[in-house]
């Protein structure tokens, strides 16, 4: 059996997108972004959202036309050629594997700070086992997690606006800092791609995928805008930039422990959805021979690519034992922005202006990231290109 079952409707697809976006990003990316952008953090958020909207529009059009697992790997291959499809798939798998590590580390840091790495490894392996039982069970678990996280974020916003205000004027505008902040915040938006990678598992993909992408991205943008304003109000730009757990620090008294629990739950939800998305892209690349063909097998009983999911889970577990959280965020953003740059290029003939703006925005934000992330990301992408050329 090589085909996946179409079990998911629009609500399920929206839950997958929300679960991927409302994760570690909202708890981990605002502080480094504020360090770069200062009081101009809302402008960085707006830029990140604009690029995400362009990417979402391009991805939705492409996903409706090519409703197969693999996302931009498939779109790039079909519209730009095999090399660009491969490079998109490589960038996605590498970048999102780093995202998985970041999610797992964020969960463990909030839940049990003294034992972060072993607990993070255990979380990765546990969620990988959950995915092996089928995508529908994973969606049901994600639905519960999304509700919990939204409730926690709402409580943080109310608490921050009800307390004393530390908000100040934006300060001196540094355009490069605003761009770098937007690149780091993009990490918190990138989850809507999970919907496109489930192209073979949703019903009526031509209608379901564009609707689910639009709904999930709109909900997340509103939530992030409220959270950003609440954090600036409670902590001020300098306090936000210096915080290691800004949402907990912005919460009054009894709410702080609740926020820590919410952060842990959110990270697990995003990690759950990410393992799904990365394994589906790996499945598509294995079908075409760019990864071992053994990963292309779909289990006949559960209808999921168990070998691909096991491979992703083991790789992420290995990364968790070695990577740094901030480095993982920057590296992930670089890879994912290149992935979406290829998506926009592939969509150019479908929608003219939006893909062009999205392509320019992705490249601008990618190369505005902290230089270690740019250098490491460019090196890994170059290795991937060389592997293709000499394969």
pLDDT at position 9 is 77
pLDDT at position 116 is 81
For residue 121, which of 105, 132, 138 has the smallest C-alpha distance? 105
CA separation (Å) from 36 to 32, 33, 43, 232, 311? 6, 5, 12, 14, 36
Asked if 130 contacts 141 with a C-beta cutoff of 8 angstroms, the reply is: yes
Asked if 358 contacts 61 with a C-beta cutoff of 8 angstroms, the reply is: no
Asked if 127 contacts 137 with a C-beta cutoff of 8 angstroms, the reply is: no
pLDDT at position 227 is 93
CA separation for the pair 129, 119 (Å, rounded): 15
Does pLDDT of 265 surpass 50?
yes
**In the chain, where the domains are located:** 11-389
φ, ψ at 331 (rounded to 5°): -65, -40
CA separation for the pair 60, 215 (Å, rounded): 12
Q: What is the band of 1 on the pLDDT scale with cuts at 50, 70, 90? A: very low
Q: What burial class does residue 242 get, using C-beta atoms within 10 Å of its C-beta: 0-12 exposed, 13-18 middle, 19+ buried?
A: middle
Say how many C-beta atoms besides its own lie within 10 A of residue 211's C-beta: 16
CA angle centred on 197, ends 205 and 123, rounded to 5° = 130
Give 84 or 281, the one with higher predicted confidence. 84
CA separation for the pair 241, 188 (Å, rounded): 17
The overall pTM is greater than 0.75:
yes
CA separation for the pair 331, 374 (Å, rounded): 7
pLDDT digits (tens, 9 = 90+) for 298-343: 877 767 788 888 888 898 998 888 887 778 888 999 999 999 999 9
Say how many C-beta atoms besides its own lie within 10 A of residue 161's C-beta: 13
Does pLDDT of 125 surpass 80?
yes
pLDDT digits (tens, 9 = 90+) for 353-381: 899 999 999 999 999 999 999 999 999 99
CA separation (Å) from 20 to 137, 180, 216, 300, 390? 16, 22, 10, 27, 35
Does pLDDT of 241 surpass 50?
yes
pLDDT at position 79 is 94
CATH architecture of the domain with range 11-389: Up-down Bundle (1.20)
């Amino acid at each position: 059996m090589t085909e996946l079952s179409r079990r998911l409707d629009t609500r399920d697809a929206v839950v997958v997108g929300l679960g991927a976006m409302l994760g570690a990003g909202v708890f981990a990316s605002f502080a480094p972004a504020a360090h770069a952008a200062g009081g101009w953090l809302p402008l960085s958020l707006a830029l990140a959202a604009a690029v995400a909207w362009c990417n979402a529009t391009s991805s939705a059009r492409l996903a409706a036309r090519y409703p197969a697992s693999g996302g931009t790997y498939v779109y790039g291959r079909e519209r730009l050629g095999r090399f660009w499809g491969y490079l998109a798939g490589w960038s996605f798998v590498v970048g999102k594997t780093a995202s998985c590590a970041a999610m797992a580390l964020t969960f463990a840091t909030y839940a049990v700070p003294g034992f972060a790495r072993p607990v993070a490894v255990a979380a990765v392996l546990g969620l990988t086992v959950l995915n092996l039982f089928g995508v529908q069970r994973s969606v049901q678990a994600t639905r519960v997690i999304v509700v919990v996280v939204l409730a926690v974020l709402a409580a943080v916003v109310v608490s921050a606006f009800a307390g004393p205000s530390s908000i100040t004027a934006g300060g001196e505008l540094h355009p490069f800092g605003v761009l770098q902040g937007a690149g780091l915040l993009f990490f918190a938006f990138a989850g809507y791609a999970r919907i496109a990678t489930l192209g073979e598992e949703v019903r009526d993909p031509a209608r379901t995928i564009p609707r689910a992408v639009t709904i999930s991205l709109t909900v997340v943008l509103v939530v992030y805008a409220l959270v950003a304003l609440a954090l600036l109000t409670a902590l001020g730009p300098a306090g936000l930039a210096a915080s290691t757990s800004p949402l907990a620090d912005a919460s009054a008294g009894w709410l702080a422990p609740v926020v820590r629990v919410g952060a842990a739950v959110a990270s697990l939800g995003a990690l759950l959805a990410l393992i799904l998305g990365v394994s589906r892209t790996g499945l598509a690349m294995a079908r075409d021979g760019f990864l071992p063909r053994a990963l292309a097998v779909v289990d006949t009983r559960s209808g999921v690519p168990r070998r691909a999911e096991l491979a992703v889970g083991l790789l992420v577990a290995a990364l968790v034992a070695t990577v740094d959280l901030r480095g993982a965020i920057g590296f992930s953003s670089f890879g994912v922005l290149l992935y979406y740059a290829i998506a926009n290029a592939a969509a150019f003939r479908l929608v003219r202006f939006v893909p062009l703006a999205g392509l320019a925005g992705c490249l601008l934000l990618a190369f505005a990231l902290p230089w270690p992330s740019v250098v490491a990301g460019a090196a890994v992408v170059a290795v991937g290109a060389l592997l293709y050329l000499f394969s």
